[in-house]
Structure 1
């Protein structure tokens, strides 16, 4: 008899969606499914695993976007995703990049505590197997760089983002979640300082797959 199916949900922003680095603001290029880090993760997992991509460009942790719209807020979106895809065996969250836009005026500590709030929602959602809690995996996105067409939007964010990973690791520890600092294995594109090049997607997907395979 084959193994019971497992559902893995990848909840994130444009870098989970697979947005290509932007030469001009507003470009909507997206990598093919097998190029995105989620595609590399999928290829490393057995067929019994169902992998679901929940990547929304511009998604924040808990903030309504005053320019692009309230639908960019990750808090209500997470609640919908949890109910949509349950039972969820493993939930991966890679968020925080968009919180470092100048329009939000938050610190790295604020962003880490915002992720903590998301995890508290997960733990009461009854979205795991047998109405329990899914296994949790937090990924700190690599620090941003103020480059190209996105430099003004992320003004001041580069320095703040460099202190995010250790704070998020503390949150992961508090919740018994797995943790990966993506900045330890990849860098953002030199084109726009936010999104990933193809080779970075491949490296990140394979690094995540090592931990996911262990957890499953």
Structure 2
């Protein structure tokens, strides 16, 4: 039976392109690269929303970007699921949202508990969970982004260690996005086409292992 993978993320999953201020081509998004790598053995569902946080409100947003509030509906929509990939935390670095890696780690923990305690329909089994540390923010001359993520370069560098420890504690898989991708200096936050493709390629081995395919 084909396995189902849910990619729950923010603009890195949506495919924000800092060069065009648009969206990466479908074939360049990491979820598409992962799908192509897995082939017919899995269905990869991309649920990316620009500005999504782990579990915090963004009162400047034009839609609900609180990842914890929206997640149960998305789980119910796409059930049954074999694996949920959580790639979030970058937007938590904004001082108006949370402003710290520790807060983002707490938010990821909240999402894991939501998945584990979800009222799955028809007594379906709960999926495995893969926690991915997003590539760290980088220095940029883009003034609006630099101001929005003030202090984020240092804080985001703490995410891999915190996320890895959390994954060990909660029995989840872990992957460090920094091992394969770097954020673009155009805005210090997003991935260019090559780096978002690299993320998809980098994730394939651990996803295969967790799915058993």
TM range (shorter): over 0.9
The corresponding residue for 2:65 is 72
1:170 corresponds, among 165, 168, 178, to 165
| Kept in 2: contact 1:89–1:129 (CA 8 A) | no
CA contact (8 A) 1:88 1:128 kept: no
Count of aligned pairs between the two proteins = 209
Which position in structure 1 is the counterpart of 2:33?
A: 40
* Counterpart selection for 2:48 from 52, 55, 72: 55
Which consecutive aligned stretches of 4+ in structure 1 deviate over 3 angstroms post-superposition? 126-130
Alignment match of 1:5 (pick from 2, 7, 13) = 2
Deviation string for 1:24-75 (max 9, x for gaps)? xxx3x11111111111101101314111100000000111111114601101
In the alignment, the residues of structure 2 paired with residue 137 and residue 152 of structure 1 have an alpha-carbon distance, to the nearest angstrom, of 31
Residues 123/75 of structure 1: CA separation in 2 closer, same or farther (3 Å cut): same
Deviation at 1:126, TM superposition (A): 4.2
Q: Which among 182, 186, 210 is matched to residue 187 of structure 1?
A: 182
Pairing 1:21–2:5 present: no
- Mapping of 1:53-202 within 5 angstroms? 53-69=46-62, 71-127=64-120, 130-147=123-140, 148=142, 149-202=144-197
Root mean square deviation, CA, Å: 1.7
Gaps of 5+ in 1: none
